[in-house]
Amino acid sequence: MEETIEKITQDLIAAAKRFYEARFQLGNGGNLSARYPGKEWMIVKGTDVAFSEVSEKTLVITDFNGALVSGSIKPSKEALLHGALYRRLPDVQAIMHCHSPWATGWAASGKPLEFATYHSKLKLKGEVPVFDSGTYAVPEDFFPTILAHFDRYPEARAFLLKGHGQLAVGKNVWDAAYNAELVEETAQIGVISVLMGTHT
């Protein structure tokens, strides 16, 4: 059963608030989005809007090229990347990108995130690689590198961005949010394992 625009919008607002309160995303960075049912559009956070400020007024509707369809503010700088992922991955209905500390810390190593628990292996699937685009916002000419990863691992649910954070996808808003939370938990366990000398 297809979700309504109202439910998707409220889920985006609630997920953003949850991440802000969990300190996964402070300041006005990060972004989140969801497909607009029945069209090649997405509902996405406006640029420079803090997760604590996400509301009906600070969410906008764009096409997959980031062109504004509805709303009064500019869309997130990462809207183009979200659109490219939606276009390539028909099963993905929502995307969560945040600068959560443990995941961002792990990304600095440049090493793929290892599945520290059976749960992370079960849920995240494929592999969680680290990409280094060398920029604040992922440029379009780097998209093929990211999309090639999903071509290789169609069930992959997340990746890390060096110096930038993490991005998780899901079958709905909460699935994407839970995957992002699992990435953060897995990174934390991984870092602790390294510090304790138990990392394999």
Mean model confidence pLDDT for the chain: 92
Fold of 5-196: L-fuculose-1-phosphate Aldolase (3.40.225)
Q: What is the mean pLDDT of residues 2-30?
A: 92
The pLDDT assigned to 200 comes to 53
Residue 109 to residue 23: CA distance in whole angstroms: 22
pLDDT tens per residue across span 19-36: 999 988 988 889 999 999
The pLDDT assigned to 24 comes to 87
The pLDDT assigned to 199 comes to 56
| CA-wise closest residue to 129 among 156, 102, 155 | 156
pLDDT band at 126 (very low <50, low <70, confident <90, very high): confident
Residue 50 to residue 28: CA distance in whole angstroms: 4
pLDDT tens per residue across span 135-157: 888 999 999 999 999 999 999 99
- Domains in the chain: boundaries: 5-196
In the block, tokens 């099963």 appear at 91
For the CA atoms of the chain, what is the radius of gyration?
16
More confident residue, 56 or 3: 56
Residue 129 to residue 68: CA distance in whole angstroms: 31
